[in-house]
Structure formats: C-alpha cells, structure tokens
Amino acid sequence: MIARIASAKSLALVIGLMFFCAPQRAAAVVVPAVAPKLSVEAEFKALLAREEDARQDMSRWLAETDARDEHITDKPPHVLSFRMEHRFQTVCTAYADFQSRHPGHAAAKAQEQNFRADLIEDLEAIRRWEEGREEDPTSPAPWNELAHHLSHNGRTTEAFACFEKSLSLAPREAVFFFDFATTLLLYRTDGARHYKLTEQAVFEKVLTLYRRGMKLEPASYARAASYAETFYLITPARREEGLAAWHHAHSLATADTERDDARVHLARYALLNRHPNLVRCYLDQVSDPRLDPVKEALLRRINEAGKADKADSAPVSTPSAK
C-alpha cells in the first residue's frame, strides 16, 4: 500500500515535471510596425511634392481673396503675406533638414535656391499689393500690377485671376482688357488648360477682350493695332479679318509714324494675297527711315516671287525631231 502511494506520487511528480519542463509556445509579442525607410530619391520627390502643395495653397489663397473689401482697414495688415511667409519657411526648413542628411544632393540645393528666389519676389509683390489695397480697397491698380508680376514669373494661373479681379473693379478701363488679352495671347496654352478651352476658343476669348477694350477707346490707333497684330498668331490664318483690322487701324492713325506702321502691315497682307503692285504702292508711301529694313525685305520677297512665277510659266523646250 505504501509502495503504491509512493509510486503514485512519483508518477504525479514525473508528470508535473514533464508539464513544467516541456517547451512552452511563446506568447505573441506585439511589435510596433516600422515604416520602411525611404530611399534618398523617394524622399526628394516627397519634398518636391511638399513644395508644389505650398505653391498651390498660396495660389488658392490669392484666388479666394475678394476683389473688393471695404473693411480691409479694420483687419490686421499683411495677413496674406504673413500666411504665405510661414508656409514658405516650413518648406525651406524641410529643404535644410534634407540637405543636412544628404549634403551632396545637388538637385535639392538647386531646387531650394529656385524656390527661395521665386517666393521672395512673390512675397515682396504681395506686400506691395497689400499696401495698395489698404490705401484704396476699391482700386483695380494693385490687382493689375500683381497680375503683371505673376505672369512675368511664370505664375499665369494666378495672373489670370488677378486680371479678372481688376476688370471686376474697373469694367470701363480699356487698359485692363488689353493687358489681360495680351497675357492670355502670350500664354494661350496655359489659358486653354486653366479655362478648359480649345486653342481656337482661347483666340476668340482674346479677340473678345480686345474688342471690348476698343469699344471703350474707339479712336485709339494703339488699341486697334494691338488687335490687328493678333491675327498673325491665329492658326489657321484668318487673312480677311486681319486685313480688315489693319485697314481700320490705318483709318485711326493721326501721326506719320502710325500711318507708316499700318502701311507696312497692309503691304504684308498684299504680299500674302499675291498683289505685288499693291505692295509697292503701300511701301512707296512709307517715309520713316526706321522701316527701311522691313521695306527692303518685302521688296526682295516680291522680286523672288516674281522670278519663281516666271520660271513656272516658262515653256518647256523639247528637242526637235531630226
């Protein structure tokens, strides 16, 4: 009996030891996920995206600004420029941090320099715009001046918005229509993208802006000449409209220099329409010596065209039969 009890206790002890000494399944350990380390170029691309986001936000802030703000003097001054400068500094800090970790990255250094140069000029222009608006909240001039600055620095989308705001404040000023039209003509690809128009529709928008400006200053040769020059850029060519535009400009000329300028353009259209005698007639009336090189070039083209026509019309000789 005692032996059986001892044997049972031994068996229990062995089973217990087997249980506690047996390999236990490891408990699950939660390890926080570690984000994969970006490559240098991937990090640089993310930095470029951050810069672009900052530029887009600045553009949006400007576009959302009301053209007219009669209570602007009651608000803290330079709000927009301060907001833009803060965003500018955050991007510059990010560039500095990147370059401290990757000092040999030439593209990052060059990109930061471009960003700084662009935004420092833009911020200065924004401050001048703010000062102009504070002096006269209803004046279109600050908007127009800012539009010119932005367009000259490649910020065409913002420039279009500023031109529109200047026109909303001064719908009877021809200069604002012409400034907007000229910028849209020069940057028509950007205009097509911004306004979601075809190139032909952009041309029509440009011509409409010019015509509205001409109605406000119907006796201005300069306005009529700017409108007429547009037809040199329109494709496919609209020669009849261009010719009519230069005839109209010529009718408005009051000075000899203006008349000579218009005659040269009329001579060009006469050349395009293959009227050499009419070309000579216009050029014979041009007396401004500054236009002599243009006259000579047009006369040379007439002579070359005449020689080509003679060569085309000359009979082809055939050997006589023996």
pLDDT tens-digit readout, 169-207: 999 999 999 999 999 999 999 999 999 999 999 999 999
How high is the mean pLDDT of the chain? 86
- Dihedral sign for Cα 42, 47, 53, 56, please: negative
Distance (Å) of CA 222 to CA 162, 209, 217: 24, 15, 10
Residue with tokens 């940057």: 187
Q: 282 near 298, Cβ under 8 Å? A: no
Q: How many CA atoms does the CB half-sphere of 102 hold within 13 Å?
A: 16
pLDDT of 88: 92
What would the two tokens of residue 233 be? 């850029």
Domain coordinates in residue numbering, the chain: 42-68+76-137
* Alpha-carbon gap, residue 19 to 301, rounded angstroms: 109
Q: Could you give the angle at the alpha carbon of 47 between the alpha carbons of 46 and 50, nearest 5°?
A: 90
Q: Is the pLDDT of residue 39 over 80?
A: yes
Whole-prediction pTM: 0.77
pLDDT recorded at residue 313? 58
Whole-angstrom distance, CA of residue 263 vs CA of residue 280: 10
Question: HSE-up of 310 (CA within 13 Å, CB side)?
Answer: 6
User: Is pLDDT above 50 for 77?
Assistant: yes
* Residue 251: per-residue pLDDT: 98
Long-range pairs for 294-298 at CB < 8 Å and ≥24 separation? 294/264, 295/264, 298/264, 298/267, 298/268, 298/271
Residue 8 CA: distances (Å) to CA of 1, 19, 65: 11, 16, 92
pLDDT higher than 60, residue 40: yes
pLDDT above 60 for 320 = no
How many CB atoms neighbour CB 234 within 10 A?
A: 18
CA dihedral of residues 117, 121, 127, 131 (deg, nearest 10): 170
Distance CA 9, CA 24 (A): 24
Q: How far is CA 213 from CA 53, 206, 223, 286, 303, in A?
A: 36, 11, 8, 29, 40
Span of 135-139, 191-195, 289-293, 310-314 with lowest mean pLDDT:
310-314
What is the phi-psi region of residue 274: left when phi exceeds 0, alpha when psi lies from -120 to 50, beta otherwise?
A: left
The label of the residue with tokens 């800012």 reads 146
pLDDT band at 321 (very low <50, low <70, confident <90, very high): very low
Angle among Cα 231, 170, 81 to the nearest 5 degrees reads 100
Residue 276 neighbours by CB distance under 10 Å: 17
Task: Assign residue 139 a region (left: φ > 0; alpha: ψ between -120 and 50; beta: otherwise).
Answer: beta
pLDDT band at 37 (very low <50, low <70, confident <90, very high): low
